Structure 1
Amino acid sequence: MSSVSRRTLFRGAAAAAVAVPAAGLVAQQASAGRLFNGQAAAGLSLKIVNNSGAYDNGSVHIYIVGNDGKNQCHVTPDGELKPVQMSDNGSDGYTDYAIPLTGNETTLSLPEMSGRIYVACGEKLKFKAVEADGGAALAYPAAWVESDPNYPIVHDCAEFTYKGGAMYCNTTMVDMFSVPLAIGLKGAKDQTTGTLKQGARAKIFESVRSVEAFSKLVIDDKRVIAPGHGIGAGLFADDYFAPYIDEVWAAYQSKDLKVTTNAGTFTGRVSGDKLSFTGPGEVSFGKPSTKDVLFCDGALAAPNDGTTGPVAAILGAAFNRTTLAATPDQPTTDPAAFYKGDITHHYAKAMHAATEDGKAYGFAFDDVAGFASYIEDSAATELKLTLTPFE
């Protein structure tokens, strides 16, 4: 699974509208899995561990939803992969795909698919089957929207693609942060990521709340909404990054910006509203908006083409980390240089400061230079998702 396709997953999820089945549609783009036609298949061992200290096992509900390459689907408690159907909606208008915990450590079977593992605390999530393209799709929670039925519920998710014995997975804060989650992956090696430092959940809430421009993104003790979604909810200024974007544009009118990708080094200059590069290919970018920077989309969209896409990814990361104006050779790889100045991505800064390994998925291109809470294994034998302490 290429880095650009991973970014497509995260960017698509972040930009999805309320009623759009975001993860399912994005999972189709990842082209993962095969159609199981409702037949159970030998899957990967998935362990769910409740070390939250805040919710007992009976109050935690797990959902495994996504796409098998053709259909949007969900996983049953016994590991069966089933397509979403309109008839799955109950009398209340919502599906009940919840998988209960059987103890502090619950072992499940994860079939080949691409999607999300949702964790809901206190009450069940309200997933709704909706008609789409002559079939059924799934409307996912959009907890940054106050009118969404899942807004009152404490929940979060991890993302994954499992195919051909290979697992690609991450914890994500691209949309929001609520439940502290860690992932562990066993296979060719033993890896973990996403683990928060002791007391870090409260520290994240405190850090984001302390920055005036970001303070409205903190929703009680339920969640912190990513600033891109905050724009749509009227909680974050749509011109927040404008002074920094202007600074970048001014800096590279008179000097070169060099961006090195697997294809080689691209050399760019600003002329008017365009940042244009020569090198292995000719690529150019319009002047981005704050929304473009936060979603790594629009003027910074990254097609999976091997030229424009990788350059856009590096630019997106440098804008969000606010290293672009001061550093003419990108990508920047020293985390000590990230998130400097008053105008920076204080949300992503708080997420990275909170994790034991310094890695987090605070924005869609956070995997540039390897700073995302992402792990993979081509011969996976076990995936573990742990609810770590809230305190």
Structure 2
Amino acid sequence: MFRRLRWRSLAVATATLAAALLTFGAPSGAEAAVPATIPLKFTNNSGRSGPVYIYNLGTLLTTGQQGWADANGTFHAWPAGGNPPTPAPDASIAGPASGQSVTIRLPKFSGRVYFSYGQKLDFRLTTGGLVQPAVQNPSDPNRNILFNWSEYTLNDAGLWLNSTQVDMFSAPYAVGVQLADGTVKTTGHLKAGGYNAVINGLRGQSGGWANLLQTRSDGTVLRALAPGHAVGSGVLSGTVMDDYINRVWARYSSATLTVTPFVDQPNTKYFGRVSGNVMNFTNSSGAVVTSFQKPDADSIFGCHKLLDAPNDLVRGPISRTLCAGFNRSTLLVNANQPDTGSANFYKDSVTNHYARLIHAQMADGKAYAFAFDDVGAHESLVHDGNPQQAYITLDPLS
């Protein structure tokens, strides 16, 4: 019924953070230091009546300790849990009514800002840590609550704040950051009517994609599960990507897939060829550097298991490139990967239709619809090395 907290996108956040540090660099001594906390302005433009609850949960970067922060940004460590799991302390912060805002403070965390409509979330503690909602489980106590979350890292190098659909598409919101010059960067807003367009698009998509939708007994659509969770819980067939996988495997049995994983290192290339059930990658010297078993849908949608991406400089970067190519169905139209322009994305009839529909309805086209959606910078992320204020804005479910 419960699972120990695992910040699902921590690997993504770490990879993004590392890439951002390479791009932007750490702040120099001449720049203003990032303070211990920064303000987060939380605005409710949902149009919904009833209370909103906010939670700021995460891991202290200095100690690795898990806990929660109150509205002032003060850290509170979780107490010991139990087996069976015991109720966690009430970490909720009263959110704003529709049309209003509240400001809380973010500490130097790697964590999540949850929000829920109408009802508080049910968090529990095991002997191993916090249990997060897992709504793919019919017995999860949060399954019938409308909620969502944003993910962030705040440290001495700045703020990374993203909207995410890696686990589910639900109550829409946008994120933002104010720079020192007063300008604000924002991402995550849907187009007008975009929420319903994604829901209706899944309903109309053949192949079992409508089964991603979860509704309450009153008929309210609460969310669409990400396809990896849908495959794992048996509501989407594990063979849904097989036709495309087989065509990719056949193609690169007689052709070479070239992966250039680093934008700033165009001469670092790896060359993939299929032999039987394995795709072997060689470097420019012809030495095999890593190999991948023929993946399945679960591995593709989750960018894990047979497409595991360790935090190294070879297998991980190749794997994330393959993962993006499979999810976006670009591997057959471009033998040079990553394909970073969006013109070829999701054109095959066999693709990640969840990601396709979400990206099509984002106002700026950007989303975190799968774990390595940041390949080619298509993720919904804001970053600044000297953040003055962060923003989360709740949008209408329409």
Deviation by residue 1:308-360 (Cα, 9 ceiling, x = unmatched): 11111111000000111221111112212111122111100111011100001
Unaligned regions of 5+ residues in structure 2, if any?
A: 18-34, 216-220
> Match of 1:360?
367
> Match of 2:166?
174
> Match of 2:232?
232
Look up the equivalent residue of 2:214 and give its one-letter code. Answer: I
Look up the equivalent residue of 1:266 and give its one-letter code. Answer: Y
Give 3-state SS (helix, strand or coil) of 1:369's partner.
coil
Look up the equivalent residue of 2:151 and give its one-letter code. Answer: E
Deviation by residue 1:30-88 (Cα, 9 ceiling, x = unmatched): 599xxxxxxxx8411111000001234xx100000010032111011222111111489
Give 3-state SS (helix, strand or coil) of 1:144's partner.
coil
TM-score normalised by length of structure 2? 0.85
Counterpart CA distance in 1 for 2:373 and 2:87 is 37
Give 3-state SS (helix, strand or coil) of 2:87's partner.
coil
Counterpart CA distance in 2 for 1:146 and 1:127 is 16
> Match of 2:122?
126
TM-score normalised by length of structure 1? 0.87
| Residue-pair matches, total | 359
> Match of 1:216?
211
Is residue 274 of structure 2 the alignment partner of residue 273 of structure 1? no
Percent of counterpart pairs with the same letter? 36
Is residue 295 of structure 2 the alignment partner of residue 288 of structure 1? yes
> Match of 1:117?
113
Contact kept? 2:4, 2:126, Cα under 8 Å: no
> Match of 2:320?
313
Is residue 380 of structure 2 the alignment partner of residue 373 of structure 1? yes
Judging by fraction of residues, say which structure has more helix: 1
**Structure 2 residue corresponding to 1:198, chosen from 192, 197, 210:** 192
Deviation by residue 1:223-269 (Cα, 9 ceiling, x = unmatched): 00111101122210011111111100000111111111225111111
Deviation by residue 1:10-39 (Cα, 9 ceiling, x = unmatched): xxxxxxx94121129948x9599xxxxxxx
Is residue 304 of structure 2 the alignment partner of residue 297 of structure 1? yes
Is residue 75 of structure 2 the alignment partner of residue 81 of structure 1? yes
Look up the equivalent residue of 2:239 and give its one-letter code. Answer: D
Contact kept? 2:121, 2:142, Cα under 8 Å: yes
**Structure 2 residue corresponding to 1:142, chosen from 121, 134, 146:** 134
Contact kept? 2:59, 2:109, Cα under 8 Å: yes
> Match of 1:260?
260
Give 3-state SS (helix, strand or coil) of 2:260's partner.
strand
**Structure 2 residue corresponding to 1:389, chosen from 384, 392, 396:** 396
Deviation by residue 1:162-210 (Cα, 9 ceiling, x = unmatched): 0015001211101001110100111256311101111111111101111
Unaligned regions of 5+ residues in structure 1, if any?
A: 1-16, 33-40
Contact kept? 1:251, 1:325, Cα under 8 Å: yes
Give 3-state SS (helix, strand or coil) of 2:46's partner.
coil
Counterpart CA distance in 1 for 2:14 and 2:261 is 22
Counterpart CA distance in 1 for 2:313 and 2:353 is 30
Look up the equivalent residue of 1:169 and give its one-letter code. Answer: L
Give 3-state SS (helix, strand or coil) of 1:114's partner.
strand
Counterpart CA distance in 2 for 1:55 and 1:81 is 30
Counterpart CA distance in 2 for 1:62 and 1:364 is 24
